[in-house]
Amino acid sequence: MPSVNLRHSVRTDPPHVWHQEVVAPGRAAGYDGVVNDYFLVRTARFEPRGPLSDDELTAENIRGLKWWHPREVASHDGPHLFSPRGLGAPATALITCGVPAGPVLLGL
């Protein structure tokens, strides 16, 4: 399946749904914290794959790409973590309640 370049398929600015700020020295090497912003991009289903080779993904500690159902996210108890940690709750709220009026502040 061909890859999808979202820069060419997104016609309007996607809604900014979540914002996260974590001040924690040592969390990101050389920084005193991180800021993450999450946007909702609606698109047709596609096979998740970017331009990086398998070796490049491995070098970035990425072991695979897949779509997750919100129930899978909420019930995941494996050794790996989602970012944000409690992703199941805001993802479920986004699906059931719709896009918030402004970005929802998230914790770690």
Domains in the chain, number: 1
pTM tops 0.85, yes or no: no
Q: Is residue 2 part of a domain?
A: no
Closest to 41 (Cα-Cα) out of 82, 89, 90, 7: 7
Q: What pLDDT shows up at residue 24?
A: 82
User: pLDDT at position 4, please?
Assistant: 47
Residue ranges making up the domain that contains 25 = 15-106
Max CA pair span of the chain: 42
Residue 54 lies in a domain: yes
pLDDT 10s digit of each residue in the chain, 108 long? Answer: 344 455 556 678 899 999 999 888 777 778 888 889 999 998 888 888 889 999 999 998 888 888 888 888 888 888 877 878 888 889 989 999 999 999 999 987
The answer to the question of residue 1 being in a domain is no
